[in-house]
Amino acid sequence: MENRDSANTTPLQRVVVFQQNGSGERKIAGVREYGADIIALEIISIDEPLPLVLDDARAYLPETIEADLVLDYLRHQDLSHDLVLMCVEQGIPVISSGKKRVGKRVMTPPT
């Protein structure tokens, strides 16, 4: 993930998008089109079939997240829940669009 804009020394915002089966592709395309000069984008896709209940969803998530902001487009509630917990633990703001999440570093705007 590139951390600096090559035209100047302004650090790019590091945004990590978590998606399932292409669930964030429209938003990713928008960020690439309109924010490529200010945002370093990393995409983490979880596309495998999952059971209805995950006892430990962290097995599907990275141990650490290097980001200024996380966008949560995961569809599986257990994955989304554990992702938000990880972000709170690591002090990373997270946007979980269209979900019912509460917390100091969590935003849940309507979709």
Question: Domain residues of the chain, as ranges?
Answer: 13-107
* pLDDT recorded at residue 97: 77
Q: Which pLDDT score is estimated for 72? A: 95
Per-residue model confidence (pLDDT) at position 1: 47
Query: 57-109, pLDDT tens digit by residue?
Result: 889 999 999 999 999 999 998 999 899 999 999 999 999 877 655 555 555 55
Q: Write the secondary structure of 24-90 as one string of H (helix), E (strand) and C (coil).
A: CHHHHHHHHHHHCCCEEEEEEEECCCCCCCCCCHHHHCCCCCCCCEEEEECCCHHHHHHHHHHHHHH
pLDDT at position 102 is 53
Summarised one tens digit per residue, pLDDT across range 24-58 is 999 999 999 999 999 999 999 999 999 999 988 88
Sign, CA dihedral 71-75-81-83, equals negative
- Of how many residues is the chain composed? 111
pLDDT of residue 56: 84
Does the pLDDT of residue 5 top 80, yes or no?
A: no
The CATH homologous superfamily of the domain defined by 13-107: Response regulator (3.40.50.2300)
